[in-house]
Amino acid sequence: MTKVYKLNDVSRLDILKDWIIAHRAKAKSRATYELYAINVRNNELNVRLLDHAPTSADFAPMIKKGRIAAFLHENDYIVEFRGAWKSETEGKVVAYESEELANR
């Protein structure tokens, strides 16, 4: 199983958040809680919605460590997006990366 590392680098978190906000705008996505897979390979960005929920209680089972680890097996980042009612930019992100990326 892939080891999960929580991303703490503010600048990379901001970049991931920007990518998700752009993806949400294109996809017209409006769930309050969303889980994304992000891959940056061969100079190509791929942002994919994995799951979504209307409440934090519904979202909790979707973000268990074992599930995040399973998704990281095939993706560069797994990112939780927690939307804000006022604006997209006020939403919060929590991101995870694989051991391989964390040790670069």
Least confident residue range of 34-48, 51-65, 82-96: 82-96
Q: What is the pLDDT of residue 4?
A: 87
pTM surpassing 0.85? yes
Q: Are 40 and 74 a contacting pair, CB within 8 Å?
A: no
Q: Where are the domains of the chain?
A: 4-102
pLDDT digits (tens, 9 = 90+) for 95-104: 999 767 666 6
Q: What is the pLDDT of residue 84?
A: 67
3-state secondary structure of 62: helix
Residue 89 has pLDDT above 70, yes or no: no
Rounded Cα–Cα distance for residues 75 and 23 (Å): 17
At residue 28 the predicted structure's pLDDT band, cuts being 50, 70 and 90, is confident
